[in-house]
Structure 1
Amino acid sequence: MKILVTGFNSFRGVPVNPSEQVVRALAERSRRDARAELVTAVLATEYVAGTKRLRRLIRTVRPDAILCLGVALRRESISLERVALNLDDDSTPDNAGLIRQGRKIAPRGPDVYWSTLPLEALQKALQRRGIKASVSNHAGTFLCNHAFYVARQETAPRRRIPCGFIHLPGAGGRQRGALLRRFVQAIECCLQVIRKEKSRGKLPVRIRRG
């Protein structure tokens, strides 16, 4: 089962992005274990370049599942995002200096896309491991939400596959090394759940184009 996992690079106010660190750690582990079937990518924190690369990855890799990662500095636990909004609305410039406020991501697209990940199963699995996790109804209106929406747009409706977004909390004053290891463990746990649920037929089945 081929899974695409993405994160973002650093941006204003976030000199070290844990989603990038987690993706790089997963990539290293995947190189040591070919059975993992992980495709990893760190996206530019830019509306145009990041979106182009994400769309290209999904269309060329044709993954069986997609897990996008990002950071939410004010969150205190891992957030499993439920909904992607068709809205860019943030005063923060991306890394190319672009600001998008009050604009639809896809002018003719639906107002929302729902995650197709097994959110409750993910939450329970994380909590069983002592990892704080919650289901969130709002992925913000910056690039995390933008990537989430684009990924779901690419996988719906004919290419509908397990696809969603997870926010990692900021490090705050905590030890970065220990926290990174915890984040990697958390995402590996999520990947295990996705594989298990898919094998049991509880996740959307990819429809191949003829």
Structure 2
Amino acid sequence: MGSEGPAAVTIHVTGFKKFHGVSENPTETIVNKLKEYMKKNGLPKGLTLGSCSILETAGQGSLAPLYQTLQSAISEKDSQSSNSGRIIWLHFGVNSGASRFAIEHQAINEATFRCPDEMGWKPQKVPIIPADGGISRIRETSLPVEEITKALAKKGFEVMTSDDAGRFVCNYVYYHSLRFAEQNMITSLFVHVPLFLTIDEETQMQFVASLLEVLAALSGWICAA
């Protein structure tokens, strides 16, 4: 269970609602159940589970609520001056064609949606943030993705490191989150999960709990980064 005093790391989590071709998004279920699951199983020492939010599977049209969600963690940290720990934004999205989990190393400044998002937007080769330059611009997480992947694989999970989060809403949100994280000296990570038909719900909940454990174990590295 958590230790006394301020936690070394606070993790805020997001998932997505349904979208074209995925009528039930596993990340919505995972994130909605996560607090109760961790309450039952116990949080790793030094870790606090912050907000658990569900985002619309939409790009441009959902920016306001996305930034409200991201900013809420900063506002909360600022109001708790005694808490000098670090913040991680942990985003989950589904890859319906995947057979294993994927820890995403980076996001690309390109929105090319294969289908319209839930607000009807279907950009093609559009820079996500024009001020960042062209669509080849990349932003990377500051977390040690390879080490995280190896630690989870040792726990028995089918997991890989990925350098391609696609060009749909997952990549769109991750790019914005990585930029926000850099500007506010916090950390962001995106993880793709398969459908529950491929890896069942209980295994996925165990995976997320193990991921939190791995991130908590990195708290010294995160605080020094």
Q: Secondary structure at the match of 2:91?
A: strand
When structure 1 is superposed on structure 2, of 132-141 and 53-62 the one drifting more is: 53-62
- Whole-angstrom CA distance in 1 between matches of 2:110 and 2:207: 29
Partner of 2:49: 37
Mapped partners of 1:129, 1:196: distance in 2: 14
SS in 1 for 2:71: helix
Taking the TM superposition and a 5 Å limit, the aligned residue runs for 1:1-210 are 1-29=9-37, 36-62=48-74, 64-109=87-132, 111-157=137-183, 159-172=184-197, 174=198, 179-198=200-219, 200=220, 202-203=221-222
Q: In structure 2, what residue type is equivalent to 1:74?
A: G
Q: Distance in 1 between matches of 2:49 and 2:106?
A: 27
Q: Distance in 2 between matches of 1:164 and 1:145?
A: 11
Relative to structure 1, the CA distance from residue 30 to residue 127 in structure 2 (aligned partners, 3 Å threshold; closer, same or farther) is closer
Aligned CA-pair RMSD? 2.1
Runs of 4+ aligned structure 1 residues displaced above 4 Å come to: 30-35
* TM-score relative to the length of structure 2: 0.81
% same residue: 25
TM-score under structure 1 length normalisation:
0.86
Structure 1: give runs of 5+ residues left out of the alignment.
none
Q: What residue ranges of structure 2 are gaps of 5+ in the alignment?
A: 1-8, 78-86
Q: Is the 8 A contact 2:10 2:50 kept in 1?
A: yes
Contact 1:84 1:112 survives alignment (8 Å): yes
Does the CA-based 8 Å contact 1:89-1:142 persist in structure 2? yes
Q: Structure 1: which amino acid aligns with 2:54?
A: V
